[in-house]
Amino acid sequence: MSEEKRLESWEVEKTINELVEEWTHVTGETALERADLVIKKLKFTPKACEDCNLILTEPRTIHLNSNKIPFPHWKEVCQTCKKYRNPRNGKFEYNYSQTASYYLTLYKKNNKD
């Protein structure tokens, strides 16, 4: 049997208002824009980053950078702590030069005469 409970409309409205940080008025012709208000931004509960433990006040962002030297690869950088993902264990703990050194060592290892 399902434990799911149907919410009354006032409960839905209360819940939505608790989650939404900012509403925006819209004028336009698309289906979405025919609504009077649309959600512009959801509230974010500050929490510790799962990798660096710094407190995030905005959703966490990780940038993916493409690199060509010494061979094509991707680097992932956490935008909160600016640390790079260690390809060996998946943790964000490397700085830029440790990451560069990892790929250079890997390249040398795979290109021995």
Q: Which is nearer to Zn ion, 80 or 99 (CB)?
A: 80
Cβ-contact 46, 56 below 8 angstroms: yes
Is 56 near Zn ion (CB under 5 A)? Answer: no
Q: How far is the CB of 24 from Zn ion (least distance, A)?
A: 30
Is 80 near Zn ion (CB under 5 A)? Answer: yes
Q: How far is the CB of 89 from Zn ion (least distance, A)?
A: 15
Among 20, 81, 100, 106, binds Zn ion (CB under 5 A): 81
Q: What is the CA radius of gyration of the chain?
A: 23
Q: How many residues does the chain have?
A: 113
Structure tokens at 8: 């009354």
